[in-house]
Structure 1
Amino acid sequence: MGTQNLDIQILAAPSILGLRTNGVQDLPAALLKAGLGWQLQQEHPVLHLATLNAQYSDKRDPDTRCLNPVSIRNFSIKLGKAVDLLLDKGRFPLILGGDCSILLGIMSGLKVRGKYGLIFIDAHADFYEPEKSVTGEVADMDLAIVTGRGPDILTNINNIKPYVEDGHVIHIGQRDWEETKKYGSQDIRDTTITRYDLENIEKEGIEQVAAAVITNLDSSLDGYWMHFDTDVLADELNPAVEYHLPGGLDFEQSEYFINQLLCTGRIIGFDITIFNPRFDTNGQIAQNISDTIVRAFRSIKR
């Protein structure tokens, strides 16, 4: 069963309000140029959600200690409605960011519809409290926020905090343990979030980890969203990201994991974040990422 069984519609939502304005906003254009859209043989035109990037400020909000909390909330409301509309039409939303703060809009939009889980594929825990974050970038605290930790203006959009419960989150690929300890981040190991970090994957193999994740999917939920931060890939394969860490997944592992989860029929949408084309001078990294996603989607079997 291939992608014709997923009624995919791509939505470009390149918000950088949770990071900085140095290139991540070009992610959709780069992946689409590499053929992501036409190779998936989607029937619908690519949608483009207007950003609020022009409102970007590099000054922390004095009350929340976050960058751009009001603009992020406003954009999140727009994105949540867009995702909701696509799902109402029976579409499979494929969201191209942007930075990881787009997850706030996605998950708050899903919470309006029902009860959903989150497959969070990321090299980082993204679990900082604003006052512990070195930068105030919401992109390093998005998982904390969508699980209800952080300032109310971001955690309680539509008065539905939390957008996803800890026990319905599965984190894949973390490799920033030392960094989180150094800067005093909250530790996701102190929660009921299910975790398979890079060490687990290297020890057990991606096949066994994927099988374990599938076993852990909660059948009582309405479905799961899958978040793919491209910094989960090894630095030597994808140096076009903002923050670098040794190690990481290869393209084949990423493709396998994404494909196996899609084959369950439980994934209702997918987003890609953090890739910065300005660090990809010949376009080869964008091509490799696009090809990986296309292969993962086109070989779906149910």
Structure 2
Amino acid sequence: MTAQTKQPISIVGVPMDLGAGRRGVDMGPSAIRYASVKEKLTGLGYQVEDRGNLHVPTPESHEEGDQQLKYLREITTVSEQLAQEVSTIKDNGRFPLVLGGDHSIAIGSIAGLAKHHRQMGVIWFDAHGDLNTAETSPSGNIHGMSLAASLGFGHPDLVQCAGYAPKIKPENVVIIGARELDPGEKELIRKQGIRVFTMHDVDRMGMGAVMEETLNIVTNGTDGVHLSLDLDGLDPNDCPGVGTPVAGGLTYRESHLAMEMLAEANVLTSAEFVEVNPILDSSNRTAKVAVALIGSVFGEKVL
């Protein structure tokens, strides 16, 4: 593939930490840029523009509000802006690559993308389900509600981002790497029939088989595929710089294999990489892993 035939990429940073319980993830976009994400992609033959960061208010300057929906108003505002930004990138015929920030940014990303892909498949790499609502959330942190909101469950301000709902259908969603699910999330998964590959499944089947089945699901009757990758999906030994680490996660190589198989399938129409927290990291290791995975998903090979 020549550089001319590769779809140009637009990077947008969302320095959001209003949806998380620990500070620092707002520096994620800077950390990923510092780890040379643009240089990585340019080296692979892509034409890349960096659209900079959206403006996100700092928690210190605003009230948390409802303890079951912390910073709802501010997150809603940023989500609307991100939806517009992502939609504009798609209008320009470019591939949106969103850098977080906490996982609440997926509400805005998916809202903007679903305008262009009415039957969008979603691959959700995460230790968590992010399928809580205000009623089921143990923390009130909105980064644990983003997939639920995109599916049409939760507070109207989140669900109706960009003016319509739902954005995606449960049968088009696959969660990979789950190992910490709340009771309300388990119930929603069962009721909606969402395909979840827990770490038990990854251990038992192997990542190759998991990805083959995932690709079958997210491409069945869909018109685009979005990758939403939370770095806490990986094991904390490989990615220490995340706000909600859970032991026993995906290995570095398992994650690369997943990205390499995604690249081979050539089905991705957008991606976001979230929850890099440099404050909790050592020597920017987690952002470097993010950039390495971005390289693999855009076609970088060992040989």
Same-fold call, TM cutoff 0.5: yes
Deviation at 1:127, TM superposition (A): 1.3
Q: Which moved more, 1:188-197 or 1:240-249?
A: 188-197
TM-score by length of structure 2 reads 0.90
AA aligned to 2:25 is V
The match for 1:59 is: 64
Give how far 1:146 is off.
Answer: 0.8
Distance in 2 between residues matched to 1:94 and 1:216, nearest whole Å: 22
CA contact (8 A) 2:264 2:299 kept: no
Match for residue 144 of structure 1 among 144, 148, 161: 148
Q: Residue 284 of structure 1 aligns with which residue?
A: 285
Q: Secondary structure at the match of 1:46?
A: strand
Letter in 1 for 2:177: G
Give CA deviations for 1:214-265 in whole Å, capped at 9, x if unaligned.
2223343220111000000001111211122220011111111122123323
2:251 is matched with 250
Give the corresponding residue for 2:86: 83
- 2:189 aligned with 1:156, yes or no? no
Query: Which deviates the most, 189-198 or 47-56?
Result: 47-56
Give the secondary structure class of the aligned counterpart of 1:144: helix
Secondary structure of the structure 2 residue equivalent to 1:104: helix
Matched, 1:94 2:97: yes
Q: CA RMSD in A?
A: 2.2
Render the CA deviation track for 1:142-162: whole Å, top value 9, x for unaligned: 111111110111101233111
- CA separation in 2, counterparts of 1:131 and 1:149? 11
Q: Which residue of 1 aligns with 2:111?
A: 108
- Counterpart of 2:265? 264
User: For residues 287 and 135 of structure 1, what CA distance do their matches in structure 2 show?
Assistant: 29
Q: Is the 8 A contact 1:16 1:53 kept in 2?
A: no
Q: Hey, what does 1:118 align to over in structure 2?
A: 122
Q: Pick closer, same or farther for the CA change 1:294–1:184 going to 2, 3 Å.
A: closer
Query: How far 1:211 moved relative to its partner?
Result: 1.0
* 2:295 paired residue number: 294
Match of 1:171 in 2: 175
Q: Give 1:195 deviation, angstroms.
A: 1.6
Deviation, 1:295, is 3.0
Change (3 A) 1:54 1:221: same
* Percentage of matched positions with identical amino acids: 25
Correspondence for 1:241: 242
Gaps of 5+ in 2: none
- Report what 1:34 is aligned to: 35
CA deviation map 1:17-57 (0-9, x unaligned): 21156210111111111111101104233112322323664
Q: What amino acid does structure 2 have at the position aligned with 1:140?
A: G
Q: Taking structure 1 as reference, are residues 58 and 240 closer, same or farther at Cα in structure 2, changes over 3 Å only?
A: farther
Cα–Cα, structure 1 residues 175 and 158, in superposed 2: closer, same or farther, change >3 Å? Answer: same
Tell me, yes or no, if structure 1 residue 19 matches structure 2 residue 20: yes
Secondary structure of the corresponding residue to residue 257 of structure 1:
helix
- Kindly tell me: are residues 55 and 244 of structure 1, through their superposed partners in 2, closer, same or farther at Cα, counting changes over 3 Å? closer
CA distance in 1, matches of 2:185, 2:234: 24
Aligned length: 295
| Alpha-carbon contact 1:129-1:186 (below 8 Å) kept | no
Q: If the length of structure 1 is used for normalisation, what is the TM-score?
A: 0.90
Alpha-carbon deviations, 1:184-219, whole Å to 9, x = none? 864413322122111111100001111111222334
Partner of 2:53: 49
